[in-house]
């Protein structure tokens, strides 16, 4: 089974490309969704996060306030690393279980949607890497519009990730997502044909 690592940066349009891939009938294992599942109340990562960051990062119902936790870790590299050390092993374990299940079902291709593919050093999990790219100006504008965040908040979040230009040099293929959805779909199909996926 071919495993493709799909990556990008915050507000680069990776979710749009992920949805296109699902429309092709190709299974997608979503690291972001799994990272939310592993921090649900009662899960091991949840207990470690509360022990490390305190109960002030929780909503009244006990759920983690992701925005509050995000504001802490996006401004402090040490705290971000601490959070990653808690969450990433649990995410990796769950992703592997899902990938193995698709392989047992006889799937020819599975896409692993991993925003921090390089930052988390997860490239050994995949055979090919695909980057959804936008220029810095577009990324900032999209993030501010999407999250209704200030320029400083948006830049803090963007700078917490490896720059897209650096990722561009590391991947097998790039989708330039500065244009229309149709242009993005056309690029995705061309790459998949090159890789003999269809």
Element (H, E) at 82: helix 77-104
* pLDDT per residue as tens digits for the range 131-151: 999 999 999 999 999 999 999
**pLDDT (0 to 100) of residue 14:** 95
Task: Answer yes or no: is 14 a known binding residue.
Answer: yes
At 78, list the tokens.
Answer: 């040490």
Task: Answer yes or no: is 12 a known binding residue.
Answer: yes
| Angle value at C-alpha 169, between 100 and 164, nearest 5 degrees | 85
Task: Answer yes or no: is 13 a known binding residue.
Answer: yes
* pLDDT per residue as tens digits for the range 57-66: 999 999 999 9
Q: What percent of the chain has pLDDT over 90?
A: 88
Task: Answer yes or no: is 11 a known binding residue.
Answer: yes
Would you give the DSSP letter of residue 59? -
Report the C-alpha dihedral over residues 63, 66, 69, 74, rounded to 10 degrees.
170
**pLDDT (0 to 100) of residue 135:** 95
At 168, list the tokens.
Answer: 């561009």
Residue 48 sits in a domain whose CATH number is: 3.40.50.300
Average pLDDT over every residue of 47-55: 96
Count the domains in the chain.
Answer: 1
* pLDDT per residue as tens digits for the range 93-132: 999 999 999 999 999 999 999 998 998 889 999 999 999 9
Q: Which domain holds residue 137?
A: 2-194
Average pLDDT over every residue of 32-44: 94
**pLDDT (0 to 100) of residue 198:** 86
Does position 5 have pLDDT exceeding 90, yes or no?
A: yes
């Amino acid at each position: 089974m071919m495993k493709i690592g799909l990556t990008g940066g915050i507000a680069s349009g990776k979710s749009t490309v992920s949805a296109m891939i699902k429309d092709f009938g190709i299974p997608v294992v979503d690291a972001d969704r799994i990272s939310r599942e592993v921090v649900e109340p009662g899960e091991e990562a949840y207990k470690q996060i509360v022990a490390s960051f305190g109960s002030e990062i929780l909503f009244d119902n006990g759920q983690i306030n992701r925005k509050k936790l995000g504001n802490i870790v996006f401004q402090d590299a040490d705290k971000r690393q601490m959070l990653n050390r808690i969450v990433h092993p649990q995410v990796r374990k769950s992703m592997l279980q899902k990938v193995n299940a698709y392989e047992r079902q006889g799937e020819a291709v599975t896409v692993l949607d991993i925003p921090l593919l390089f930052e988390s050093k997860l490239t050994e999990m995949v055979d090919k890497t695909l980057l959804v790219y936008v220029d810095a100006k577009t990324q900032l504008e999209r993030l501010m519009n999407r999250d209704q965040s200030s320029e400083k908040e948006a830049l803090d979040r963007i700078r917490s990730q490896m720059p897209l230009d650096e990722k561009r040099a590391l991947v097998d293929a790039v989708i330039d997502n500065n244009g229309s959805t149709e242009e993005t779909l056309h690029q995705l199909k061309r790459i998949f044909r090159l890789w003999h996926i269809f």
